[in-house]
Structure 1
């Protein structure tokens, strides 16, 4: 009987793993993004639980935890494993927040929501895309000819710019930074350790990346959104910011900081980190605008 029970448990585990991979997304960078990454403490009650190329943060509290982002659909098992490796229970995650609704940051949320029973919250635009399970018209990366579809999320709490959400004493504030998507959102909160409280920023992507044919400078069917994009960059740069982690960890040198951290010096504490990311984002936007204008000039 014991052997049979062990066999059944093994089959159930295998079936669960297979189910977790059923909705896997395939892209040129996906395998690298989804490489395992051991979880670690960023500062105080803020923990990195994401994968190698896609961030996910856990903010822990006595009345439940808040998870930010879910990576790819195939990232969900690793994120859950990372949460549990730190000694926390997935069932104690009460709220899942989203930075933006592209499938590499929201694709794992449905599985994590089922495992935890948590409420999902995001900007109004992100809620629409998650309900569709794909990028929709108006998103710079919308491409109906090459659309990637992930599991839909029917019920999402819509969060407005400047709104604060809470789980017990945990309070996180949404800052809409449209540009990369119309619903892009940075999240801020405070974490404390040894009596020192720091302003934490989870920065959304500010990269002007799009499908072929989309112009941030506008065209006959889309408005020029460069002014609002610049405003988003400036908004991020002005946030109270002692610790910053971006949606793609490489944007803020997350693993370099981890490697250089010592018991006496937490390299994640970097006042000016938001300003530095904003300056780099501004340069990238300038390059994109110049490229678009040159391309339009050729077409005249």
Structure 2
């Protein structure tokens, strides 16, 4: 019997529609094909693992007393996510918390199904939690006019900036980074291999993207919030960066290198957060320049 490579098995799972059936929580939401591209799970460092797709980051943390998952991709990728978690030797039912960076369907569309399957509590900012409970983006979101609705997460819980989610021997801290969305949150924690520990940052999107009549020029408070968030991410202790979209920080290249066995670990880069912030700062200025012209 031929055994398919894991990515091929994921692709077959996705193409077969076995993740969908008639389940309202996993009905597909159209999006960028790269967001649905199968990606083998891999260890990033210590007990921190990448379980996302080719275009959407998701991270699993083994705390020693249950699992923490960050982000959920789309409804139609839930079965792939669960398969990735099982492939690493973990149980979906052991996820205790699912943390969310932003209430956009490409990062939170799968939350309702994953929360149901695991029994996990979904946690994000208060603004983000309200959007998750409603199943639609906040009215003040720069992309609100073009974003589709997603399966609501009725029990999503909002927390304060700086709140620490503790489980086992792991403490994950919420760092509010609004601007791309009003409720965006980045998350930080330490990952260790023996006594060698590194500061990990899962950074929310910092891109200045808008739709409809929204302009950053006409919303100076949103622009100021995004600038402050960029500065905040830049200043974080940061040895290992995961950005919400891997290709926004070169994470896609690092994933491919790590999967190929590259040494030293390509994700260990103390300049990554600074580079990510500088890229976001440039994109914001380019957006403002286009609006001005």
Question: What is the TM-score with the length of structure 2 in the denominator?
Answer: 0.89
Q: Distance in 1 between matches of 2:34 and 2:257?
A: 23
1:102-117 matches, within 5 Å, as 102-117=104-119
Question: What are the superposed Cα offsets for residues 39-93 of structure 1, whole Å, 9 maximum, x if unpaired?
Answer: 0001111000011111100011221010000001111111111000000000110
Cα 1:106–1:115, aligned 2, differ >3 Å: closer, same or farther?
Answer: same
1:25 is aligned, of 29, 32, 36, to 29
Answer yes or no: is 1:42 the counterpart of 2:41: no
Equivalent residue number for residue 95 of structure 1? 97
Cα 1:22–1:108, aligned 2, differ >3 Å: closer, same or farther?
Answer: closer
Q: Distance in 1 between matches of 2:254 and 2:19?
A: 35
User: Displacement, 1:16?
Assistant: 6.2
RMSD: 1.8
Cα 1:22–1:163, aligned 2, differ >3 Å: closer, same or farther?
Answer: closer
Equivalent residue number for residue 168 of structure 2? 168
- Structure 1 window deviating more from structure 2 (256-265 vs 278-287): it is 256-265
User: Displacement, 1:156?
Assistant: 1.5
User: Displacement, 1:223?
Assistant: 5.3
Determine if contact 1:188/1:202 at 8 Å carries over to the other structure: yes
2:131 is aligned, of 129, 153, 165, to 129
Instruction: Flag the structure with larger Rg.
Output: 1
Determine if contact 2:104/2:147 at 8 Å carries over to the other structure: no
User: Displacement, 1:168?
Assistant: 1.9
The alignment partner of 2:40 has SS state of coil
Equivalent residue number for residue 158 of structure 1? 158
Equivalent residue number for residue 52 of structure 1? 54
Determine if contact 2:19/2:77 at 8 Å carries over to the other structure: no
Q: Distance in 1 between matches of 2:68 and 2:99?
A: 7
Equivalent residue number for residue 287 of structure 2? 288
User: Displacement, 1:240?
Assistant: 0.1
Count of residue pairs brought into register by the alignment? 275
Equivalent residue number for residue 267 of structure 1? 266
Question: What is the TM-score with the length of structure 1 in the denominator?
Answer: 0.87
Cα 1:14–1:287, aligned 2, differ >3 Å: closer, same or farther?
Answer: closer
Equivalent residue number for residue 4 of structure 1? none
Q: Distance in 1 between matches of 2:26 and 2:189?
A: 35
Determine if contact 1:23/1:150 at 8 Å carries over to the other structure: no
Q: Distance in 2 between matches of 1:23 and 1:77?
A: 12
2:140 is aligned, of 119, 138, 141, to 138
Q: Distance in 1 between matches of 2:18 and 2:64?
A: 33
Q: Distance in 2 between matches of 1:197 and 1:136?
A: 37
User: Displacement, 1:256?
Assistant: 1.4
Cα 1:217–1:96, aligned 2, differ >3 Å: closer, same or farther?
Answer: same
Question: What are the superposed Cα offsets for residues 253-299 of structure 1, whole Å, 9 maximum, x if unpaired?
Answer: 223113334464111100010000001100111111112222xxxxx
1:111-260 matches, within 5 Å, as 111-143=113-145, 146-218=146-218, 224-260=221-257
Q: Distance in 2 between matches of 1:122 and 1:19?
A: 28
Q: Distance in 2 between matches of 1:242 and 1:187?
A: 13
User: Displacement, 1:136?
Assistant: 2.9
Q: Distance in 1 between matches of 2:18 and 2:175?
A: 40
Q: Distance in 1 between matches of 2:190 and 2:22?
A: 37
